Chains A and B, each alone.
Chain A
Amino acid sequence: MTRISLASAAALALFANAASAQTEISWWHAMGGALGDTVNQIATDFNASQSDYVITPVFKGTYEEALTAGIAAFRAGEQPNILQVFDAGAATVIAAQGATIPVQDLLIDNGVDFNIEDYISGVRYFYADSEDKMIGMPFNSSSPIMYYNVQALEAAGVTPPKTYEEFETVTAPALVEAGYIPLAQSHSPWIWVENFMSRHDLPFATNDNGYTGLDTQILVNSPELKMHWNKVKEWRDAGFYEWYGAAWNDNQKPFEEGKVAIWMGSSGSFGGLSKLDLPFDFSATVLPYWESVTAEPKQTFIGGAALFAMSGKSEAENAATAAFFQYLTSPETQVMWHKETGYVPVTTAAYEMAKAEGYYDELPAAEVGIEQLSLPAGEYTKGYRMGFYVQIRDVMNREFGRILAGDTSVDDAFTAIEAESNELLAKFAQTQG
């Protein structure tokens, strides 16, 4: 008994000492592998850059797992100071007002300069509320881009397709002729629904893509999207496109192996691909579009995730969080993160700095993600906000798999996606009641 109380007293004393000297904050994230190493590097650098605060990053698994862990922890009163939440979870965390401190308020209250215009346009409002107040701090922001195997395209005598029309009439047949599988893609709901909408400036949901109300209806059952998926099915049957399942890596792998010539993935995959010893040179360019749908393709949505400052923390800890966010958005940190991972720099200042350093002269493909996000904005390119969106994506993935396996028709699949998504959206509205 005495020994225990002695030990705990000692621990307490130690803790009290540390606490009086430095404020400790925690950061739960979903960045595994090489990305996780870079996250740890940022935390180490931040801790070394000053002596008032100590941040501890904790890897919590996949995006979905990190969000669920954060929610469970919040309900138990054990939430971290900073939680990384991905694009599809944004509606859930932003709808729960009181769970987080809007990052804009956090920064301003702690005397950090904040101007939403400092952020690049594609990133600015994705994690903002309907009044354009920034709620989550955009962190790892990416955009789907088109990677290609330079030698494969040379062998086939083609250039990266600018439009899907060019892909199906010129690029794909030539690549098949040259012995390649022309196309693979790693995230159907993200690339061929969400960003299909922004690239072609089509409405994704009612209520201004869901930003201005909870009684939102999804608008995916549209002639343009169904046309696209009918084409996708045709391409697969013709050997122009191969689908390796819903898991990201299963679709990236054949590209890395040199079997697939063109792969649509994330600009955030750039760092990882560059570090691999690939048997070919790769490059990247912006996503194609359908000329039959639009003559003026627009920017795409950001993907990836944002950092949310959880509420219920002391002022000292919130000040530490604000200081960390300030550090994170500094041009130096952003450029380091951008170069290491391929995620885009979120501020214009950081983008300018990378340009001035000549980074894009060296590696033009590294600029594709941010170029695409900086294309002209359209009416529907700000982002989307839909509750239970993780489940809506699962419904899409399921139906797309069924289309490609020949278990359902495109029409039936989109009718099912629309009905189930609207049911989920209605349910989400009720959870907020």
Chain B
Amino acid sequence: MKRAGFTSAWLPAMLLLPQLAVIAIFFYWPAAHALRSSFYLQDPFGFGETFVGLSNFTSLLTSAAYSRAAWFTVFFTLIVTFGSLSIALLLAVKADKVIRGAKTYRTLLMWVYAVAPPVAGVIGLIMFNQSWGPLKEFFALFGWDFKLGVNYFDTAFAMIAVSIWKQVPVNFIFFLSGLQSIPKSVREAALIDNRSATGRFWDITFPLLAPTGFFLLITNITYAMFDTFGVIDTVLKGQPGNNPMTLVYKVYVDGFRGNDLGGSSAQSVVLMVLVLALTVFQFRMIERRIHYT
């Protein structure tokens, strides 16, 4: 095969430039700005500021509200990730077996993907509405007095349910294509060795899906931590009250609602560090152990 190359360094540099510019303007510059702001307390209108060193960070450590949000984020991320992955996997395995009307089933399972998070939140609000929501009435049949926005647990339940529902289709698409890329010969060989469908799934299918699963694990953690913002915002209706919120939402509440730029920047720096850690974990710890054929 012929090796293509550039004769001068200019062309590749020029080709890279747009991408680099986008990263610099929309990522590095704001990130640097946030890092700087996190050491200051600043007048919202930008008139005055005071250098406060690490006090924005130390006040996070001592804040009961922040630690509640942090624990909720951990709990929320685990449940949303596990819930959306397992439901999607189950649906994908079942949909993979369907032969008649397969396309219809698949389309129906996928189309929630097109719903924007705030819209998903609105649908959640309607379904769980405290005075007339259909799901609220369904729960009432079992004696569960569901109260969205009043009861911490119930509000968390609604946020988690909507977030999972919204994410299942993406996972489903990936799992389904992962399943379909498992060679037929492998499956047939497995069929001879093991008659139990469950056994074949855990011994053959599941390990072969591992690369897809790992990729989805990382994207789902990111989704639960960051992209559920729209869902949470709609469910809280702009009045956080005593309801649960994730760390990303707290950055918004303190910074954009409360106008505390320094405190909010410190929180976003904490999140940047978390993302960095997640990325290192992804590349160092697991990529080595998972084989992408």
A 212-268 contacts with B by CB, 8 A? 243-248, 250, 253-254, 257
**A95 CA to B49 CA in the complex, in Å?**
13
* CB-nearest residue of chain A to B256: A68
Contacts of B138 in A (CB 8 A): none
Contact B149 A99 (CB under 8 A): no
| B212 beta carbon closer than 8 Å to chain A | no
Contacts of B149 in A (CB 8 A): 244-247, 250
- Greatest chain A CB density within 10 A among B44, B240, B241, B254 is at B44
| A46 beta carbon closer than 8 Å to chain B | no
B243-285 vs A, Cβ < 8 Å mask (1 yes, 0 no): 1000000000110111110110000000000000000000000
One of B44, B46, B63, B150 near A245 (C-beta < 8 A): B150
Contact A431 B242 (CB under 8 A): no
The A contact surface, by secondary structure, is: helix
**A92 CA to B59 CA in the complex, in Å?**
21
Contacts of B152 in A (CB 8 A): 401, 405, 407
| A62 beta carbon closer than 8 Å to chain B | yes
- Contacts A390-B257, A407-B152; A397 near B239 (Cβ below 8 A): yes
Q: How far is the CB of A31 from chain B (nearest CB, A)?
A: 15
Contact B242 A75 (CB under 8 A): no
**A427 CA to B42 CA in the complex, in Å?**
9
Contact B259 A398 (CB under 8 A): no
One of A245, A400, A431 near B48 (C-beta < 8 A): A431
- Contacts A245-B130, A245-B241, A398-B242; A75 near B46 (Cβ below 8 A): yes
**A427 CA to B240 CA in the complex, in Å?**
21
A 377-403 contacts with B by CB, 8 A? 388, 390-391, 394-395, 397-402
| Interface size class of chain A, counting residues whose CB lies under 8 Å from the partner chain | 35 or more
* CB-nearest residue of chain B to A75: B46
Contact A71 B258 (CB under 8 A): no
Contact A390 B44 (CB under 8 A): no
The B contact surface, by secondary structure, is: loop
Contact B242 A405 (CB under 8 A): yes
Q: How far is the CB of A103 from chain B (nearest CB, A)?
A: 17
**A250 CA to B150 CA in the complex, in Å?**
10
Contact A99 B241 (CB under 8 A): no
| B15 beta carbon closer than 8 Å to chain A | no
| A64 beta carbon closer than 8 Å to chain B | yes
**A361 CA to B3 CA in the complex, in Å?**
93
Contact B150 A244 (CB under 8 A): yes
Contacts of A401 in B (CB 8 A): 150, 152, 241-243
Contact A430 B258 (CB under 8 A): no
**A430 CA to B52 CA in the complex, in Å?**
9
Contact B259 A68 (CB under 8 A): yes
| A98 beta carbon closer than 8 Å to chain B | yes
One of B45, B50, B65 near A74 (C-beta < 8 A): B45
Contact B240 A433 (CB under 8 A): no
| Interface size class of chain B, counting residues whose CB lies under 8 Å from the partner chain | 35 or more
One of B49, B63, B150, B256 near A431 (C-beta < 8 A): B49
| A112 beta carbon closer than 8 Å to chain B | no
Contact A431 B239 (CB under 8 A): no
B 50-95 contacts with A by CB, 8 A? 50, 52, 59, 63-65
- Contacts A244-B130, A250-B149, A405-B152; A388 near B258 (Cβ below 8 A): yes
- Contacts A244-B130, A254-B131; A397 near B241 (Cβ below 8 A): yes
- Contacts A75-B45, A246-B149; A399 near B64 (Cβ below 8 A): no
Q: How far is the CB of B106 from chain A (nearest CB, A)?
A: 38
| A2 beta carbon closer than 8 Å to chain B | no
| A135 beta carbon closer than 8 Å to chain B | no
Q: How far is the CB of A421 from chain B (nearest CB, A)?
A: 12
B146-158 vs A, Cβ < 8 Å mask (1 yes, 0 no): 0111111000000
Contact A92 B41 (CB under 8 A): no
**A394 CA to B239 CA in the complex, in Å?**
8
| B33 beta carbon closer than 8 Å to chain A | no
Contact B130 A92 (CB under 8 A): no
Q: How far is the CB of A393 from chain B (nearest CB, A)?
A: 9
Contact B46 A407 (CB under 8 A): no
Contact B263 A427 (CB under 8 A): yes
Contacts of B259 in A (CB 8 A): 67-68, 71, 92, 388, 390
Contacts of A48 in B (CB 8 A): none
**A400 CA to B49 CA in the complex, in Å?**
32
**A382 CA to B237 CA in the complex, in Å?**
31
Contact A250 B130 (CB under 8 A): yes
- Contacts A244-B149, A388-B259; A431 near B240 (Cβ below 8 A): no
**A253 CA to B131 CA in the complex, in Å?**
9
Contact A433 B50 (CB under 8 A): yes
One of A98, A253, A397 near B240 (C-beta < 8 A): A397
B 140-194 contacts with A by CB, 8 A? 147-152
A91-111 vs B, Cβ < 8 Å mask (1 yes, 0 no): 011011111000000000000
Contacts of B239 in A (CB 8 A): 245-248, 397
| A416 beta carbon closer than 8 Å to chain B | yes
- Contacts A388-B259, A398-B65; A96 near B47 (Cβ below 8 A): yes
A 330-357 contacts with B by CB, 8 A? none
Contact B47 A427 (CB under 8 A): no
- Contacts A405-B150, A433-B49; A427 near B260 (Cβ below 8 A): yes
Not counting A62-B238, A395-B65, A433-B49, a sample of 7 additional A-B residue pairs whose C-beta atoms are within 8 angstroms of each other reads: A64-B238, A68-B256, A250-B149, A394-B241, A397-B241, A399-B242, A405-B152
19 A-B Cβ contacts within 8 A?
A64-B257, A68-B256, A95-B43, A245-B148, A245-B241, A246-B149, A246-B241, A390-B259, A395-B65, A397-B241, A398-B240, A401-B150, A401-B243, A405-B151, A405-B242, A423-B59, A431-B42, A431-B50, A431-B262
- Lowest 4 A-B CB distances belong to which pairs? A401-B242, A246-B241, A245-B149, A433-B50
